[in-house]
Each structure stands twice: as structure tokens, then as C-alpha cells.
Amino acid sequence: MTSEYFQRARAVIPGGVNSPVRAFGSVGGDPVFFASAQGAKVTSEDGRVFTDYVGSWGPMILGHAHPQVIEKVVEVARRGLSFGAPTVLETVLAEEICKLVPSIEQVRMVNSGTEATMSAIRLARGYTQRPLIVKFAGCYHGHSDALLVKAGSGALTLGIPGSAGVPPGAAGDTLTATYNDAEELAAIFATYGERIAAVIVEPITGNMNMILPQRGFLETLRDVCDQHGAVLIFDEVMTGFRVALGGAQAVYQVKPDLTTLGKIVGGGMPVGAFGGRRDIMATIAPQGPVYQAGTLSGNPVGMAAGIETLRLIQVPGFYDALSRTTLRLTEGLERSAAKYGVPLSTNQLGGMFGVFFSDLDDISCYDDVAACNADHFKAFFAAMLAHGQYFAPSSYEAGFVSAAHTEGDIDSTIDAAQKVFAKFT
């Protein structure tokens, strides 16, 4: 039976949700309507409490409603919600970003990850005066027209829109390649190199579940971009401040030309950012000819949440503790699955993880994820939800652990998983 909340929402909101994956489309059943959250726990409108492994899809690295973040947000909100004029808070957050991610020399604030990637692409095209961009199948870079393209198979696909409403013209300059396939990328550059403005990549993927780059993959991206004068964009909207303080680029020591940020940078408020090399950033209006703007960009409340979040993740040992928590979870899940003969593998780094119902040890690209056991995932998701464990309602999404998750929280989750896997056969 459909909940009253969902029924009421569906009457006035398409599909009852404001972002599609919230609708539980791939797992079935009704979405849970949240009323409040604190630390690692979320409470639904009908009073159920869940341990949360979604964390608003990434931003809540400190846990929900962190008292110091809330306090700063409230304090700043009292002084006015938006001015449409410069504030010192914007400079403070920009300084903090440039300090933590050294490849970023200058940064522009926007209101979402979608805006950040869309603007970074426009900037790369304006800077290079070239039309083509390269993305990888299964990587998500927000919902702007040119980026809603993915390959049907591993083969190179020239601009087939992945959504109705995207005209072929808008997607026709997007080339799609296979994640972790350096040879294919080199071949693409051999053919189109002079016309390629940028390569955009999730350096660690999170939108086809969590896949780590194979040895040398990111280095190859750097090399081919240098050889052909293309801009390398790391989309770290998810991985920024998540897998490590300096993001995936700090882990793999590969320096992109531009980086896009979102999620944690706004601490739960709608904030995105894109930044990088000073000479490229100088191409943006009002300094340069690439237009980009936003009425609410850099708004004080978002800045306050971002500043306080970035301050709190810099306490010594923060990422070590977070990694230990994540590892405790993924190792526990693997152990529980093995005990009952359920094929399962995991990936994890920092506060991010992936769970795959698969025999494969090494999940390296979209096709590997698509080949996972969808029935196992659906059964796992539904049964874990019934046990008070809120995992992402899609097998293509990464999971997140926060600093508020205790060993006790993780152990309860593993206990629940044992019970679930015991009934799998």
C-alpha cells in the first residue's frame, strides 16, 4: 500500500520526488519520507529510525545536523539570506578550497554540482576554442545537455543523447569512452585530438557505484591531455573531501587543470564550485569572454555551512578514523556474505564504499557493474531497510559513512546483513 506521504506528493510533484533516484524505482516499494536526522541516524515521518549510508548522497561527512555547522548557519542566516553582492564568507571558503586542493588556484562558486560541471565544460571550450569533450560511460556529471550521454557498450559512441529532450546537436560533440581503458582513450585522441577541448572524469567513480582507477589510468589522461592541448577536468563533486582531504587527486597524485566540487563543499546546503589553473579561470566573465553567473551563487548560508564543514574535517586523524569505520563495514559485509556463500565484493576509500553482488574481484567499468546480480541487490536493499539500515536505493550508487558512525552502528549493520544473507538461498 502506498504511503499517504507518497500519494500526496505524487499528486503535485512528478513521480512524487524532486530527483529521480529518490523514487525507489529500481528497488520497488515506496520511498521513505524523512522528518529529521541526527549524526548517523535518520528518522522517517512515520517514526522509524535508520542508520544512514546515503548521507544526502555525500555531503553529510560529519553526520547529520552537526551542532557546530547548524550554529554557524543559523548565526549567518540571522544577518540575511542573500545579498547578490560580494561577502567575505565567499573569499574565506575560496581560500580554504585553494589551500586544501592545491591544483585549484582560483575558484568560482555555483549552486550545484550540475552547474559546476556545465560551467567547467563551457570554460574549457572557451579557453581552448575547441568543440569536443570526452566523458566515460557510467560517469555522471550532472544533468546538463552535453553531459547526459553514455555509451551503450564499451565502443566509442559519438553523441547519442541519454535523455529525451536533449537535441542531437547538444550531445553531438560529446565522445564517450570506457572507464579504465587507457588504450581506447589514446585512440580517440589519435583521431579527434585537435578538436578535443576537455576530458571530464570522476577520478574515482561514484555514479556507477564506486570504481577505483586502475594503475596508470589517470596518469594516461594527464599525458594525452598535455600532448594534445586539452583541458583535464576532475569531477570531484563526490570524491572531493570524501576519499581524502585533498580528494582523489591527492590520493593518486595526478593534477587536473580544472576541478569541480559540490556535495561536501556545501555541507548540506546547495553549493557547487569549479576551479583550477589561474590562466584558465581568467577566461571567465567578468575577466574574460566565457559567460557564467548566478543570482544566489556564493550565498552566505551555503558558504557558512561549507566553511564550518571544511574546518571540522581538518582535525588531525579525521580521515584515518573515517577510513577505519568504512573498512569495518565493507570487511564485515564481505565476511557475512562469504559465510552464506553470497558472491559479494566491495571497494572503499576514505568515507566512500561500493558493494557489488558479483564474483568479480576487480570491478573496473560500467559493464562490470551492469553484470552484477540485480535480484541480490534488490533483496539486500529491501531486507536491510526492514532492519533499519538505509542504503542507496540503486545498485549504481556508492555508499557513504560519516564521522558520526560508531563501531556499534557498523556492527549492528553487519549483524543485520548476516540475518539477511542467511535467508538468501
Q: Which of 53, 140, 192, 396 is catalytic?
A: 140
Which is it for strands 196-201 and 132-136: parallel, antiparallel or unpaired? parallel
Angle, vertex CA 104, rays to CA 99 and CA 105, nearest 5:
85
In the complex, the smallest distance separating the C-beta of residue 92 from ligand PLP, rounded to whole angstroms, is 22
Take residue 381 and report the three cell numbers written for it: 536493499
CB of 116 to ligand PLP, least distance (A): 7
Q: Shortest gap between Cβ of 272 and ligand PLP (angstroms)?
A: 6
Sign of the dihedral through C-alpha 159, 164, 170, 174? negative
Are 377 and 417 a contacting pair, CB within 8 Å? no
Is there binding between residue 389 and ligand PLP (CB under 6 A)?
no
Least Å from the CB of residue 22 to ligand PLP? 12
Say whether 235 is catalytic.
yes
Instruction: Say which amino acid occupies 134.
Output: V
**Three-class SS state of 185:** helix
Nearer to ligand PLP by Cβ, of 149 and 238: the residue is 238
Residues 112-151 that bind ligand PLP (CB under 6 A): 112-114, 117, 140-142
Q: In what order do the strands lie in the sheet with 399-400?
A: 345-349, 352-356, 399-400
Among 139, 142, 355, which residue's Cα sits nearest to residue 150? 139
For residue 423, indicate whether it is catalytic: no
Task: Considering the complex, state which of residue 235 and residue 257 has its C-beta at the smaller distance from ligand PLP.
Answer: 235
Between 342 and 355, whose beta carbon lies closer to ligand PLP?
355
Nearer to ligand PLP, 297 or 413 (CB): 297
Do the Cβ atoms of 410 and 322 come closer than 8 Å? no
Catalytic residue among 72, 135, 150, 263: 263
Catalytic residue check, 140: yes
Please, which of residues 283-312 interact with ligand PLP by CB under 6 A?
Answer: none
Nearest distance from residue 180's CB to ligand PLP, in Å?
16
Residues 194-253 that bind ligand PLP (CB under 6 A): 202, 206-207, 235, 237-238
- Ranked by CB distance to ligand PLP, the top (closest) residue is 113
From the candidates 173, 181, 235, 257, give the one annotated as an active-site residue: 235
CA distance 89 to 126: 29
DSSP secondary structure string, 312-329?
HTTSTTHHHHHHHHHHHH
Rounded CA separation 240/11 (Å) = 37
- The residues annotated as belonging to the active site are 140, 235, 263
- List interacting residues with ligand PLP (CB under 6 A): 112-114, 117, 140-142, 202, 206-207, 235, 237-238, 262, 272
